[in-house]
Structure 1
């Protein structure tokens, strides 16, 4: 690795580490370029030599807070006997963790990044390649796919091997699942309802399970 590349990676890590610390101490909503710069020991303007936007740095830092979800996801998938069950279980795991850390998951899956999210993910893992250690080939494609719709759709596509489900149904059911989660996430973040993380996850999963029941009934 060239010396310049090593220096760039080191600087990126300085800023990401500083952002992670600020998120842990003050919350993601209070992170600013000035605070990050001060914590990392550089001026805030230096950040923009390495990140196009502050949201990109927050995205990188947020990736450090989803390890528990990614580590637990294989355990959830193993409990499923069919791909439809695995699909539901994958949402259970995602809802459990996302509503416990709504700001983090909003930053990763909803917030406007100003560029393609897949570029961000590839860049992240080029720096933090060790984060991939221990994950199976079934999980790794999900790590590299930042688009929630296509990530979850992959499991339903496999369900076609087990029952007669047409492509349009898969597309629509999966999109509705994502929209249900996004709607509940927005509601939680805007504090429109008084719900704790467990209640938000339970209500979201109720609607997703109902969707899946309707899909299976239509296929039978």
Structure 2
């Protein structure tokens, strides 16, 4: 009986947290991230602000989890991109290409999830996927650990694993390459957000991929 009561409480908690996450996502979609407030979220979810703090430590957690709702388009699209790969290196480039296409199309969302200082930031995405487990259904098994990582440099390092195993790059250089690729993307995304670049989404993706490919070429030489 006690076990059943505990399970019921956990189910209820996830349900309430989902209400808050969906309400936050709606505000982001309709008004933008900068317009998100605790009061707006609570009102839209049908609870008071005090209740919200029973489930989330910080507004940043809600912004993070709500932003992940929009990242689902990327996770859904990723298997289609990498299906074209003929080897691990091509697969790695296509992972980045998919990420760039989606992140430059929704720069504020991806900046919020992977770059911005949101205060008390969740360390793992596993909590989010407890709320929305079906979001990872189409992702290949070997990439699921990558999807659960919020640090984009470490995420990139995971994506490089097959390239290391098959000799495309040296393991001793993998961390540096992963960090470089993350910094390339972050720099171009920041310019994109701050209107310091006139590039279209496609042009921003092509520029990022050119730099990423170039660093691999330098590694091989």
TM-score, normalisation: structure 2 = 0.89
Secondary structure of the residue aligned to 1:175 is helix
Distance in 2 of aligned mates of 1:212 and 1:135: 25
Does residue 68 (structure 1) correspond to residue 70 (structure 2)? The answer is: no
Residues 43-192 of structure 1: pairs in structure 2 closer than 5 A: 43-115=48-120, 117-119=122-124, 121-163=125-167, 165-192=169-196
Deviations 1:166-196 (A, max 9, x none): 2232222221111001111111222222333
Residue number in structure 1 paired with 2:200: 196
Secondary structure of the residue aligned to 2:142 is coil
Q: Is the 8 A contact 1:156 1:170 kept in 2?
A: yes
Q: Is the 8 A contact 1:77 1:89 kept in 2?
A: yes
Deviation at residue 164 of structure 1 after TM alignment: 6.0
Q: Is the 8 A contact 1:117 1:147 kept in 2?
A: no
TM-score, normalisation: structure 1 = 0.89
Does residue 11 (structure 1) correspond to residue 21 (structure 2)? The answer is: no
Distance in 1 of aligned mates of 2:169 and 2:209: 21
Gaps of 5+ in 2: none
Distance in 1 of aligned mates of 2:32 and 2:149: 26
Deviation at residue 68 of structure 1 after TM alignment: 1.6
Q: Is the 8 A contact 1:118 1:144 kept in 2?
A: no
Q: Is the 8 A contact 1:74 1:139 kept in 2?
A: no
Distance in 2 of aligned mates of 1:196 and 1:44: 40
Distance in 2 of aligned mates of 1:155 and 1:3: 38
Distance in 1 of aligned mates of 2:148 and 2:178: 19
Runs (4+) off by over 6 Å: none
Residue number in structure 1 paired with 2:217: 213
Does residue 29 (structure 1) correspond to residue 34 (structure 2)? The answer is: yes
